[in-house]
Amino acid sequence: MDIELKALSDQVIVITGASSGIGLATAMGAAEQGARLVLAARSKQTLDQIARQLGEQGRQVIAVEADVGDPLQVERIATAALAAFGRIDTWINNAGVSVYGRADEISLEDARRMFDTNYWGVVHGSRVALPHLRIHGGALINVGSEASEATIPLQVMYSATKHAVKAFTDGLRLELEADAAPVSVTLIQPTAVDTPYPEHAGNYLDQEPKLPMPMIEPEQVAEAVLDAARSPTKAVRVGAMAKLNTTLAKLVPPLGEMMAKMQIGRQQRNEMPRSREGTLYRAGESGRVHGRGNANAADAQTAKALNRR
């Protein structure tokens, strides 16, 4: 069936992982287009500040502290959305964490924690959102990665979570299409993005982690997410390297594997490592859209966007 989605200015949009990176960039982009927003993350202090600043600009925004690994907390996001705005039009499962290290060295506790957020967070969000989206129609958008199809050495566990997200998203879409449900289901697969992702990640390396160049800006991913919120689409690979890496992994596996192995030495900075856990078990509270890959854009650009009148 043909699925019609509302203009962003008429939508109530839920975004998980909204306190930094892609989630925050998406929130700011949606706010500029007049959407009513439900922003969820573990970072309560940062989230409250973002909601307050956007509210001062005349935006309709609520903040909900929630860990997407806990289904009861995800239910609380939906309850807050309905209490504030009466419905949900788009639900964006964006929250994610990573761990840098070799697959046989990362603790099972850390690996399970990553799956709780990256995979089960998507499952919980989807299961909570779908009863509401089925009634009035809408969009379910899951943020995956090029790692959904092209595994990244030293981020093998992260890649595994994103493979699982892709399988879940693709299968869920097929079931909803078979039911003729008025719900658009989209998988977003970005390449490396200049966000605080490496700073938030757990780290078993003997140096500070980073993402390999080239990186794209988080606003480019946010634009793809918001496009999917207003125009039904199945999957979007964001960035030239996402298209190249996933195509090679599928069509020319030996070349794809060679390029993947080259990334092993390109994921460290010449710096002493910080604490191992990163934000696996605690909120980050960075409140930044950008990471360290684009020094001129980082905190100043985020602050400028939030304070724009």
One DSSP character per residue, 103-125 reads TTTS-HHHHHHHHHHHTHHHHHH
Phi-psi region of 285 (alpha: psi -120 to 50; beta: other; left: phi over 0): left
| 182 alpha carbon, distance to own chain's centre | 23
* Three-state secondary-structure class, residue 173: helix
Kindly report the backbone phi and psi dihedral angles of residue 252, in degrees, each rounded to the nearest multiple of 5, phi listed first.
-135, 70
Give the C-alpha separation, 68 to 94, whole Å. 10
At 279, the amino acid letter reads T
Helix (H) or strand (E) holding 202: strand 202-203
Instruction: Name every residue whose Cβ is closer than 8 Å to that of residue 190 and which is 6 or more positions away in sequence.
Output: 22, 143, 145, 146, 216, 220, 221, 224, 237, 238, 239, 242
| Biggest alpha carbon–alpha carbon distance for the chain | 54
Give how far the C-alpha of residue 94 lies from the chain's centroid of Cα atoms, to the nearest Å.
3
- Give helix then strand counts, H and E, for the chain: 11, 9
Tell me the CA distances in angstroms from 3 to 128, 135, 237, 274, one per residue in order.
20, 13, 21, 47
Q: Which residues are catalytic?
A: 158
